A and B are shown apart, each in its own frame.
Chain A
Amino acid sequence: MTWAVFAQNLVNGLSLGSLYALVAIGYTMVYGILRLINFAHSNIFMLGAYMLFYADLMFRLPWWLSFVIAVIVTAIMGVIVERAAYRPLRQAPRISALISAIGVAYFIENLGLVVFGGRPKPFPVPAFFSKSYQLGSVYMANIAWVVPLLSGILLFGLMVLVYRTKVGLAMRAISHDMETSSLMSVDVDRIVAITFGVGSALAAAGGIMWGLKYPQINPLMGTVPGLKAFTAAVLGGIGSIPGAMIGGMLLGMLEIMLVASMPALSGFRDAFAFLVLIVILLARPSGLMGREYREKV
Chain B
Amino acid sequence: MLQLTDVHVRYGGIHAAKGVSMRVAPGGIVTLIGANGAGKSTILRAIAGLVPQRTGSIVFMGKEISGMRTHDIVKLGLTMAPEGRKIFPNLTVRENLALGSYSRTDKAAVAQDEERVFRLFPRLKERISQPGGTLSGGEQQMLAVGRALMSRPKLLMLDEPSLGLAPVLTQEIFEIIKTIREEGTTILLIEQNAFGALSIADYGYVLENGRITMEGPGQKLLGNPAVQRAYLGARVGAG
Q: Is the interface of A mostly helix, strand, loop or mixed?
A: helix
**B75-115 interface mask toward A, CB cutoff 8 Å, 1 = contact, 0 = none?**
10001101000101111000100111011000000000000
B82 CB, min distance to chain A CBs, angstroms: 6
What is the interface size of chain B, counting residues whose CB is below 8 A from a CB of the partner? 23
User: CB distance B71 to A188 under 8 Å?
Assistant: yes
| B48 within 8 A of partner (CB) | yes
| A166 within 8 A of partner (CB) | yes
List the B side residues contacting A169 at CB < 8 Å: 91, 95, 98-99, 102
Contact of A185 among B50, B89, B91, B103 (CB under 8 A): B103
| B151 within 8 A of partner (CB) | yes
> Which of A170, A177, A179, A185 gathers the greatest number of chain B CB atoms within 10 Å?
A185
List the A side residues contacting B75 at CB < 8 Å: 185
User: CB distance B86 to A180 under 8 Å?
Assistant: yes
List CB contacts (< 8 Å) of B128-185 with chain A.
147, 151
| A270 within 8 A of partner (CB) | no
| A176 within 8 A of partner (CB) | yes
Complex CA–CA separation, A173 to B100 (angstroms): 11
| B190 within 8 A of partner (CB) | no
User: CB distance B74 to A183 under 8 Å?
Assistant: yes
User: CB distance B71 to A173 under 8 Å?
Assistant: no
List the A side residues contacting B82 at CB < 8 Å: 179-180, 183
Contact of B71 among A172, A177, A187 (CB under 8 A): A187
Contact of B88 among A173, A182, A187, A188 (CB under 8 A): A173
Q: Which residue of A lies closest to B90 (CB)?
A: A176
Q: Which 9 A-B pairs have the closest CB atoms?
A: A185-B74, A182-B70, A185-B103, A180-B86, A184-B99, A185-B71, A187-B71, A184-B102, A185-B102
Beyond known contacts A184-B100, A185-B71: 5 more, CB 8 A cutoff: A170-B99, A182-B71, A183-B74, A184-B74, A186-B102
Using a CB–CB distance below 8 Å, which chain B residues touch chain A? Answer: 48, 50, 69-71, 74-75, 79-80, 82, 86, 88-91, 95, 98-100, 102-103, 147, 151
CB pairs A–B below 8 angstroms (23 shown): A166-B102, A169-B99, A169-B102, A170-B99, A172-B88, A172-B90, A172-B95, A176-B89, A176-B91, A182-B70, A182-B71, A183-B48, A183-B74, A183-B79, A184-B71, A184-B102, A185-B71, A185-B75, A185-B103, A185-B151, A187-B69, A187-B71, A188-B71
